[in-house]
Amino acid sequence: MTWTPHATVAVVVQDDQQRYLLVEERSQGRIVLNQPAGHIEEDEAILDAAIRESLEETGWQVEVQHFLGLYTYKAPANGVTYYRLCFSARAVKKLTDHLDTDIIATHWLSLEELRARQEQLRSPLVLRCIEDFRNGRRYPLDVIVDPQT
């Protein structure tokens, strides 16, 4: 059996009221909360993937501002190891209400609301990325080098 890494992007989007943009989605038979996130497609630039996933899952056009970090997570449900490149972004404009088929709804939740729903998080990385953002973790986007740049 050949091991294949799973590279994903996730985006932390905070509004002026310190609420975070989250998606309510179906995952392995559960209804969970997650940041806008998903797999990087073949030949896709990493930052383009973050922008695309945000739009597809939330309907929001975002402007990626910072790199928050590279997170590793082995999902107990399927044993798959995921490498999550997480970014912070600014919501620019709501462009559509048409969302990916697995997305049930989008929510703007405060940190307190999110902590109260911890059992509903898709993974512990959802809260960890927001806490890292709140603690001031920010790296310049040029630490990500794509072939197109």
Task: Give the pLDDT confidence of 23-72 residue by residue, as tens digits.
Answer: 999 988 889 999 999 999 999 999 999 999 999 999 999 999 999 999 99
> Distance (Å, rounded) from C-alpha 20 to C-alpha 129?
11
Centroid of chain to Cα 63: 14
> Distance (Å, rounded) from C-alpha 62 to C-alpha 143?
19
pLDDT interval class at 1 (50, 70, 90): low
Query: Hunting for tokens 């995952």 — which residue is that?
Result: 27
pLDDT interval class at 127 (50, 70, 90): very high
pLDDT tens, residue by residue, 4-20? 779 999 999 999 999 99
pLDDT of residue 148: 61
> Distance (Å, rounded) from C-alpha 2 to C-alpha 97?
39
pLDDT of residue 29: 85
* CA nearest to 50, candidates 147, 144, 139: 144
Question: Which domains does the chain show, CATH number per domain?
Answer: 6-142 (3.90.79.10)
pLDDT interval class at 93 (50, 70, 90): very high
Query: Hunting for tokens 């049930």 — which residue is that?
Result: 104
Percent of the chain residues past pLDDT 70, beyond the cut = 97
Q: What is the pTM of this model?
A: 0.93
